[in-house]
C-alpha cells in the first residue's frame, strides 16, 4: 500500500489528483489550509486522511510531521501554489511577490525537508513539486514576473534538493501540469483537470532515482530549465 501526501488538496489539480489516487487504491494524506471548508475533499471515498497544513507556516508543517511520525511516505506532492494578481511593471504589489515566493518557492523545500524521515521510510520515495513551464528561462515571457520568478526559484530549490538527497535514495522532480482549467488556469485553459491529474499521477508513479533533478511535464516530456 503506497502513501501519498498532497498539499493544496481542497481544489483544482490537488483535489483531482487526490480523487484519482484514491480511485487507484492509494492511501492519500490530503492536506489543505482549512479542512472545515473543504467539502468536496471530505466527500471523496477511499483511504483518505484529511489534515490541516499551511505550507508557509513552519509550526503547521512541524505539527503535521509530528502527527505523522512513523508513517512511511512514498510520494510527497508539493502542489499548493499561488498566482499573484498585481505583478506587472505598471501595477506591482511587492507584498504579493513576497507571498508568491513564500508559497511557490520556499514552501516546497520547507515541507520536503520536514518529511525527510517519513520519505526515508519508503522503499521508493519521491518528491514531486508542481512548478510551471512559465518558470523556464528558455521560454521566458514578459508577463507575470512574481509567478515566473517564484516558480523558477522553486525549480532551483528542487534541483538542489535532488542533489542533496540522491545519496539518500530520494527522487526529487519538478513537474509542469500543463495549462489547466482551474481557478488559477482559468476556463480558457487548454487542458481539463482530469487529464492533467491522470498524466501527473502516471509520471509520478514511474519516477525513480534515474529521474532525480529533472523538470518534466504531465506527459513525462523533459522541459528546458
DSSP one-letter code for 191 = B
**Considering only CA atoms, which of 5, 23, 14 is closest in space to residue 182?**
14
Residues numbered 24-83 forming contacts with ligand NDP, rule: CB under 6 A: 32-33, 53-56, 79-82
Asked if 132 interacts with ligand NDP (CB under 6 A), we say yes
**Considering only CA atoms, which of 126, 133, 129, 136 is closest in space to residue 171?**
126
Angstrom distance (rounded) from CA 194 to CA 23: 13
Residue 139 or 168: which CB sits closer to ligand NDP? 139
In which residue are the cell numbers 515566473 written?
148
Residue 56 or 136: which CB sits closer to ligand NDP? 56
Angstrom distance (rounded) from CA 111 to CA 92: 28
Asked if 182 interacts with ligand NDP (CB under 6 A), we say yes
- Residue selected from 84, 153, 159, 185 as contacting ligand NDP according to rule CB under 6 A: 185
Residue 82 or 161: which CB sits closer to ligand NDP? 82
Residue 92 or 184: which CB sits closer to ligand NDP? 184
CA angle 62, 197, 38 (to 5 degrees): 50
Interface residues with ligand NDP (CB under 6 A) are 7-8, 10-14, 32-33, 53-56, 79-82, 103, 130, 132, 176-177, 179-180, 182-185, 189
Amino acid at each position: 500500500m503506497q502513501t501519498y501526501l498532497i498539499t493544496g488538496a481542497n481544489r483544482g489539480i490537488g483535489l483531482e489528483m487526490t480523487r484519482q489516487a484514491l480511485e487507484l487504491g492509494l492511501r492519500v494524506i490530503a492536506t489543505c489550509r482549512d479542512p472545515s471548508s473543504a467539502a468536496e475533499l471530505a466527500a471523496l471515498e477511499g483511504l483518505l486522511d484529511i489534515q490541516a497544513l499551511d505550507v508557509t507556516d513552519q509550526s503547521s508543517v512541524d505539527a503535521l510531521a509530528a502527527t505523522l511520525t512513523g508513517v512511511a511516505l512514498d510520494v510527497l506532492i508539493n502542489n499548493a501554489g499561488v498566482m499573484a494578481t498585481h505583478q506587472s511593471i505598471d501595477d506591482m504589489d511587492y507584498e504579493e511577490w513576497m507571498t508568491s515566493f513564500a508559497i511557490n518557492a520556499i514552501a516546497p523545500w520547507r515541507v520536503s525537508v520536514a518529511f525527510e524521515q517519513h520519505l526515508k521510510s519508503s522503499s521508493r520515495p519521491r518528491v514531486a513539486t508542481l512548478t510551471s513551464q512559465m518558470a523556464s528561462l528558455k521560454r521566458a515571457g514578459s508577463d507575470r514576473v512574481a509567478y515566473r520568478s517564484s516558480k523558477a526559484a522553486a525549480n532551483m530549490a528542487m534541483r538542489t534538493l535532488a542533489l542533496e538527497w540522491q545519496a539518500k535514495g530520494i527522487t526529487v522532480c519538478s513537474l509542469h501540469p500543463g495549462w489547466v482549467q482551474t481557478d488559477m488556469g482559468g476556463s480558457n485553459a487548454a487542458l481539463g483537470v482530469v487529464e492533467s491529474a491522470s498524466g501527473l499521477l502516471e509520471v509520478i508513479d514511474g519516477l525513480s532515482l534515474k529521474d532525480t533533478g529533472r523538470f518534466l511535464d504531465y506527459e513525462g516530456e523533459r522541459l528546458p530549465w
